[in-house]
Structure 1
């Protein structure tokens, strides 16, 4: 992917709001979707909301009850989910603002293209690194979950089963085209909702006065390290920014962008609050980093729990090749000399992820590190930098009240992103996120 070294948004280029500053050369290089592409503006609002849900709901929610416990209890956990959802919505609003500003009739194809075109080609390497690490690190998290489930189903040979699955993943990840696997993307959303339903109905919390007092009080006094290790878990579960640009590209009525952001995030928040509150109220301080482990220990014979676990394994197994595929293709795009090394690159990526997942590593640790590096950059830091650098340029006649509010929220997002980035790495290096 070739990208101009200079940023697309420049002080001289952004004077008149509502007009694209992209030249035909940009379109011809393939960086911006052509106005005649069939997928551009081809989808209505409900389907776009569903696509955002499909891209977000999944394995990240499994750690939410544990994060609530580590944050000190129900109220702090709920407040964190609401605040981080609001910051995620601001990030999407910022991305929409710049996407629609200079491509009002067309669209960029990905988050990375938007960042590179706005901030310049110097950010190309950073975007490539984030994409590779986010895809590969998420694959490690998936493998950690699979290992735990295989050990529960096959106590004597769970790790051997994981290695067998890894061979299957290598074969698929070496393929030139994995489009057919996208047909199974809906499984992630279905499994996420299924896990929430199982948590609510299979393990209903006690409703006695004593238990309610216990659950509404702090499960423990969180330290600064606990907070630093827990907040990235919430950030990871809310990362819709990376997949949002392609979805926005397909929205037929761009005036309904705010509705797309609002409805998708409200539905995500409702699912997460239901799972997190139910799981925390049922297990309290004994909740595991993966809520499925808590359910498995107390409800191993429940057919609903077994069904949810099997569905989760199937969904993760089908989702893993796409993550390795994305990481491999990004490496090949950055190093064209490796274009013919599909099998070798896929083998290295799958082997490294499997070796990282085989030891007794906590899911909270893996997601904390991945989120600390990637989610903090993708959701908070890069959109905030874009807004803080260019909003004044876009409105040279003077900033309005909404512009000032956006700049303030972008500054908050930047600070939050930096704190998550530094705090999570510090906490995970200290081993705080490792669950028992």
Structure 2
């Protein structure tokens, strides 16, 4: 899941018109600023593309591994479908309250909706989630880069990562990163490219064998720890809630909201199904937490131009996306603590090299994403929208609480329970070291 393609949980305290705010600099062009002229200026298909740009990214790399952790192809496919439906419910809930509060305008960010319900405590929570989500995601990106650099340069791959960190530090210290918005499309393109490469590896003469077909049908009994470690990775890859409100703000015909939700999630699900199924069937129980590591070690396919090209494109995209993550974390901290407003370089130094130090040891991508998604994705997708719905819908509906309203409340209650289980289970599983190491 990318963070560099749309506005995140931007706290409402950030200046709306300030040209250097994290809100503006995260906004990479396909959504635009939140000025009134931009409200309702986009048709449903462009909004669908915006959601795809915001969601498709590095988070999908773990999905073949997730299928193995959940016990097999069918278990993984069912989990993907179920969590896609829960994600769609989250978006439907956000749509309901956006249109309730501002039928003719729009809320500026996800955090505005949370703050309306939770007040100042909601503001603090959103600031924490934004910093941890941006910085933790940066650690995950660096873990991926480290693996690719070590594969390309076995003797000094980690030294190359430290050199990249110096570049990231200087860039993350800047007051304006809007020039990076021209590269926002790369995340989506690279995600689709990796799916194509994985499917090609599976259907190639070397990949489509009797053994690979047996791997597709094989299954095992996963432990509770395996499931607890795997489910947050699905949540992370499906997290469109953080970017949805600014996308919905631009939708010209609000009656097409359901189409926006269904088609964007359907396309995301199809991409994930192809990647997860082909990757799992290709490598089975030997699949790595990062599918690119598995492709890179496949004797029949590792040296192909497709795999090498996908790896280079992935490294380029992540390197360009990382400064935006550190920038968002830095700006959020500075907005919360005005006394740090003039400490761009020193604060960026701590954030960048702290993340690099966390990524250098032999830590699995599944571990990093599991912790980040366990805390952040579970809150953003399931817990907070459910709390908003459970608290406000009875007040809005009053005595008319029945039928659709009641069904939505029941699903929100389920979403709250699922989010809580993911939050607790992922931290427990990763503390037990289930996904440590590649």
Query: Structure 1 runs of 4+ off > 4 angstroms?
Result: 1-4, 33-36, 205-211
Measured in 1, the distance between the counterparts of 2:183 and 2:399 equals: 49
Q: Is the 8 A contact 2:64 2:280 kept in 1?
A: yes
Task: Name the TM-score, length of structure 2 as normaliser.
Answer: 0.90
| Residue 167 of structure 2 is aligned to residue 168 of structure 1 | yes
| 1:276 corresponding residue in structure 2 | 276
> Map of 1:365-404 to 2, 5 A cutoff?
365-404=367-406
Structure-2 change in CA distance of 1:3 and 1:184 (3 Å): closer
| 2:4 corresponding residue in structure 1 | none
| 2:427 corresponding residue in structure 1 | 425
Task: Name the TM-score, length of structure 1 as normaliser.
Answer: 0.91
Measured in 2, the distance between the counterparts of 1:35 and 1:254 equals: 17
Q: Is the 8 A contact 1:392 1:399 kept in 2?
A: yes
> Map of 1:65-144 to 2, 5 A cutoff?
65-144=64-143
Q: Deviations over 1:239-259 (max 9, x none)?
A: 000011111111111111111
Measured in 1, the distance between the counterparts of 2:276 and 2:216 equals: 12
Measured in 1, the distance between the counterparts of 2:237 and 2:272 equals: 9
Q: Is the 8 A contact 1:202 1:304 kept in 2?
A: no
Measured in 1, the distance between the counterparts of 2:275 and 2:123 equals: 37
Q: Deviations over 1:126-178 (max 9, x none)?
A: 11000100000000000000000000111111011101110111111111111
Structure-2 change in CA distance of 1:435 and 1:3 (3 Å): closer
Gaps of 5+ in 2: 1-9, 18-22, 24-31
Measured in 1, the distance between the counterparts of 2:141 and 2:420 equals: 26
Q: Once the 2 structures are TM-superposed, how far is the Cα of residue 407 of structure 1 from its aligned partner?
A: 0.4
**Aligned partner of residue 41 in structure 1, secondary structure:** coil
> Map of 1:350-365 to 2, 5 A cutoff?
350-365=352-367
| 2:199 corresponding residue in structure 1 | 200
Number of positions where the alignment pairs a residue of Structure 1 with one of Structure 2? 411
Structure-2 change in CA distance of 1:187 and 1:208 (3 Å): closer
Measured in 2, the distance between the counterparts of 1:170 and 1:433 equals: 29
Q: Once the 2 structures are TM-superposed, how far is the Cα of residue 210 of structure 1 from its aligned partner?
A: 5.9
> Map of 1:280-319 to 2, 5 A cutoff?
280-298=280-298, 299-319=301-321
Q: Once the 2 structures are TM-superposed, how far is the Cα of residue 119 of structure 1 from its aligned partner?
A: 2.7
Q: Once the 2 structures are TM-superposed, how far is the Cα of residue 42 of structure 1 from its aligned partner?
A: 1.3
Measured in 1, the distance between the counterparts of 2:135 and 2:423 equals: 18
Structure-2 change in CA distance of 1:34 and 1:199 (3 Å): closer
Measured in 1, the distance between the counterparts of 2:327 and 2:211 equals: 51
Q: Once the 2 structures are TM-superposed, how far is the Cα of residue 121 of structure 1 from its aligned partner?
A: 2.1
**Aligned partner of residue 396 in structure 1, secondary structure:** helix
Measured in 1, the distance between the counterparts of 2:289 and 2:46 equals: 33
Measured in 2, the distance between the counterparts of 1:81 and 1:72 equals: 13
Measured in 2, the distance between the counterparts of 1:269 and 1:173 equals: 33
Bigger drift between 119-128 and 70-79 goes to 119-128
Measured in 2, the distance between the counterparts of 1:308 and 1:44 equals: 32
Bigger drift between 166-175 and 35-44 goes to 35-44
Q: Once the 2 structures are TM-superposed, how far is the Cα of residue 400 of structure 1 from its aligned partner?
A: 2.8
| 1:241 corresponding residue in structure 2 | 241
**Aligned partner of residue 37 in structure 2, secondary structure:** coil
Measured in 2, the distance between the counterparts of 1:263 and 1:301 equals: 36
Q: Once the 2 structures are TM-superposed, how far is the Cα of residue 204 of structure 1 from its aligned partner?
A: 2.5
> Map of 1:45-60 to 2, 5 A cutoff?
45-60=44-59
Highest CA radius of gyration, 1 or 2?
1
| 1:145 corresponding residue in structure 2 | 144
Gaps of 5+ in 1: 5-25
Q: Once the 2 structures are TM-superposed, how far is the Cα of residue 202 of structure 1 from its aligned partner?
A: 2.9
| 1:44 corresponding residue in structure 2 | 43
Q: Deviations over 1:72-125 (max 9, x none)?
A: 000100000000000000000001100110111111111112211233222111
